[in-house]
Structure 1
Amino acid sequence: MSVLRAVVFDLDGVLVDSEPVWEEVRRGYVADHGGRWRPDTQDRLMGMSTKEWSRYLATELIGGMEPREVAEGVIGQMIRRYDEHLPLMPGAREVVRRLAEDGRPLGVSSSSPRTLIDHVLDEMGVRDLFRATLSTEEVARGKPAPDGYLTVAERLDVPAEECAAIEDSSNGLRSAHAAGMRVIAVPHPRYPPDEDALALASHVARDLNAITPRLLDQIADKPRP
């Protein structure tokens, strides 16, 4: 009998409804610096590491700026927005506490920079419930590569095949699946994942309230897509 012994969360779009904030802040930053936002920009940015998206904004959308300058400006605005209001997804605190109380070690693998990961988990009051947290800026490749999820599994001391990942985006779903994890998709209504990425999920949940220890046990023995 297979067992899912650990759970790894994405952050943006899963625990915090940050994608609309990221889009608004980066759109505004590009416009303020004379750049042009493209129709496919938001889809391209989802799952990128800080190094990747700042380079894309600096070179592809704006021009004449250094990626580090872009990253510092955007991240600074994100922190200020979070200080004003942290837009948690419904059931975010509850699902973390529910799975932690069940005894499974928890991790985070996020494309957000380290400072925002720590800020969100502190504001949620759940940082001490996570055994391992990682920003994809700390590994060689961001999502859809599996590097982040594989590293978190290693830090949890649990094989990736015995971990469940909770994701919302196309690149996040691809990343967790490539790592060998069972993936639970919680699609964001405004930014739904591509159908081919959604097909990689072992289960599609309507919201975080649907994710329980019993659900993890139910999907453990299902064949991986």
Structure 2
Amino acid sequence: MKKEDVFERYSRQIFIEEIGLEGQKRIMSAKVLVVGAGGLGSPVIQYLAAAGVGTLGVADFDRVELHNLNRQIIHNENSVGTLKVKSAEVFVERLNHQVKYIGIEEKIDQRNVEEILSLYDVIVDGSDNFSTRYLINDMCVKLRKTLVYGSILGFSGQVAILNHQGSKNLRDLFPEPPFDEDIPDCDSLGVLGALPGVVGSMMAIQALKIITGLPVHLNQITLIDTLKWRFQTLDF
């Protein structure tokens, strides 16, 4: 893409004083891994690709199902039955072909987590189970990687920046993971489709702020209650 085309495409970001040309260059050279191409991953992938993130890795081993479509907005009816990473690749290519997309068609586990995470600057966790969340968190601590954390259920969500420049991590917030089978999830209690759009967009903003070197609030978690319309930030 020619320089003038780059400016035209990203001008509304470049016009922001705190970002400018230098910030856009940082975005275009950044390597971000999004774990999960579902409810949270969808808006994260959408906005990071739109912002021009240079390399966008997406890890997911699931296939698109019809019930995903109320919230997983990068997929569509034609995607049902296909791998989510393949569907996400089509979306990203149509939105911004300059983004280098890397689809990781496997479950992140003890065997591959270090190899996968080590290739990226920022990790955005949109996974849907505690075992994966803690595995990713612990590897981010080991590799000194910044982790953007989010979760959703019903009308509620959470967002936090973890392990950024020595800040606290998930185990400082929740020392031990609960048993997944004891925790309600979207499959059992549901989720309003627009909620992951709100929470995922917040996660994307945090990732872009980190990439561009803007100040972020650390050792805090933001609690989002869209039913009562309350937003609360707690220190930990």
Q: Could you say whether these structures have the same fold, taking a TM-score greater than 0.5 normalized by the shorter chain as the test?
A: no
Bigger RCO of structures 1 and 2 (CA < 8 A, at least 6 apart): 1
Instruction: Flag the structure with higher helix content.
Output: 1
Q: TM-score, normalised by structure 1?
A: 0.33
Q: TM-score, normalised by structure 2?
A: 0.32
